[in-house]
A and B are shown apart, each in its own frame.
Chain A
């Protein structure tokens, strides 16, 4: 299963202040570890919201709002896309991440929908089939 791991923006990231060299080195080492463990699919850092925009929808109407946006803590400053076995594993990986800002910061973990979340595997028939299989396995023990 895949998880999107999102680093929240800080005042510094919104001001466009680049992280210190020490943090960049530590982050590089961490990313390296994710690659070596075969779990990292993609990772990107995002520029300050002053360089972004929002499109607001209201019925058929679209309004473009240019950045920056005020609610810093709700903004995303970067993300990883990782492939792991469980939410707990995603959490364990995130706990190993260096603190992305000098003070307090937060990283959010969200599970990505997979084909089987919609697909045939989740039909009642498939579930019944799996339960049958488990019963068979149990009887073989």
Chain B
């Protein structure tokens, strides 16, 4: 194996093993930032040694052992807090008494809980949303700073800074490395789900840049969601989120035209929908609904996406069913955006005039003033009602509001369509 080959292998090993190594270390040293630094030191050691020695048979155990040695060295040097010392003393004893394989087995026992602790720490509310996203992708997605920077179209030093600051904040605020319980769990879980869905959405409908989609980010989010579904199986909303992402991702191939333009749901060629992802999404939705209780935001959104996924043609869509789901969603989590979507469903189920009446009630909504989909939807309904001049104005307003180049083209195209008609 050549050196560049080995480096690519090390990258892959890192992606697979680093979350477990960091999570296991964080449990011992009680500091996620320090755990990540130690794991990173082990990675540097691997980069130095593996090109000569070859990749070890159990690379995960190798990284863990190397990181653990560094932890022990560091603590001996720094003589840190007595409590931590005791814990490390325990770790050292254990190392003396048992082979590395046994240690690995012991670690494996609650590696799931460690990973879950890591998820909750990376998505802790003391951090800004941006910091949570960067830290989650770094610690749990195994992405490098450079990969995160490219995915979000910002410079690498910006992301590196964001991660350093986040780790510092976690240490300063003494965020415990634990799984929240009871009522706190609900709020903290919703922060985790929000981070994952934000990553997905940034990939699915890029808010900035020239491309309509960035598939790699969608895949990262899906991977995180699928991991979380196995870490926290009793949480229905986790499966709801996975279902929503799987079903949305199933349309990836159909929602971009040959010249990169966006294609809206009803105009998509459904033969291009990925049936494997749809099946996975429907299964995840079933898992969420089987767990019972009132359906949460993600589960309801997934149920709506599933209505579309089940329809063989756009005409087959169960619009009254979707309108009912939006009613449920509006009752549970009222928001102007949900109202707008409900209006679209009502228009499809009961005619454009019924939908427009609801949309007109939203035009003075401050939260939607800069939201391009409001004029876009209004334009669509006006066009269907034959009010072309008004429709054209709305499409142009929507085009001026969107930050995505591809979407702007689509909207301007529709505006021109009204002018001709």
List chain A positions with a Cβ less than 8 A from chain B. 1, 35-39, 41-42, 81, 83-86, 88-89, 91-93, 114-116, 119-121, 123, 126, 129, 133, 137, 140-141
Please tell me if the beta carbons of B256 and A37 are within 8 angstroms of each other in the complex.
no
CA distance A92 to B253 in the complex (A): 28
Is B389 engaged at the interface, CB distance under 8 Å to the other chain?
no
Which B residues contact A (CB, under 8 angstroms)?
8-9, 11-13, 15-16, 59, 112, 149-150, 153, 155-158, 209-211, 215-216, 219, 222-227, 230-231, 252-253, 256, 258-260, 276, 280
Smallest CB-CB separation from A137: which chain B residue? B155
Q: How many A-B residue pairs have CB under 8 A?
A: 84
CB within 8 A of A83: which of B59, B209, B210, B223? Answer: B223
Which one of B59, B158, B215, B258 lies within 8 Å of A114 (CB-CB)?
A: B215
Report the Cα distance A141→B256, complex, angstroms.
33
Give which listed residue, B12, B112, B149, contacts A89 with CB less than 8 A.
Answer: B12
Extra inter-chain contacts (16) besides given A88-B12, A92-B59, A119-B256, CB under 8 Å:
A36-B227, A38-B224, A38-B227, A39-B226, A84-B12, A85-B15, A85-B219, A88-B8, A88-B11, A89-B11, A89-B12, A89-B15, A116-B215, A120-B260, A121-B260, A126-B211
- Asked whether A38 lies within 8 Å of B155 as measured between CB atoms, the reply is no
CB distance from A49 to the nearest CB of B (A): 24
Residue of A nearest to B280 (CB): A41
Given A115-B256, A126-B260, answer yes or no on A35-B11 (Cβ-Cβ < 8 Å). Answer: no
Minimum C-beta distance from B66 to chain A (A): 18
What would 10 A/B residue contacts be, using CB atoms closer than 8 Å? A37-B227, A39-B226, A41-B280, A83-B219, A85-B15, A88-B12, A92-B13, A120-B258, A137-B156, A140-B157
Cα of A133 to Cα of B156 in the assembled complex, Å = 13
> Separation in Å of the B47 CB from the closest CB of chain A?
14
Known contacts being A86-B8, A88-B11, is A137 close to B215, with CB within 8 Å?
no
Contact B215 A92 (CB under 8 A): no
Find chain A residues with CB under 8 A from B259 CB.
Answer: 120
Complex formed: what's the CA distance from A84 to B220 in Å?
9
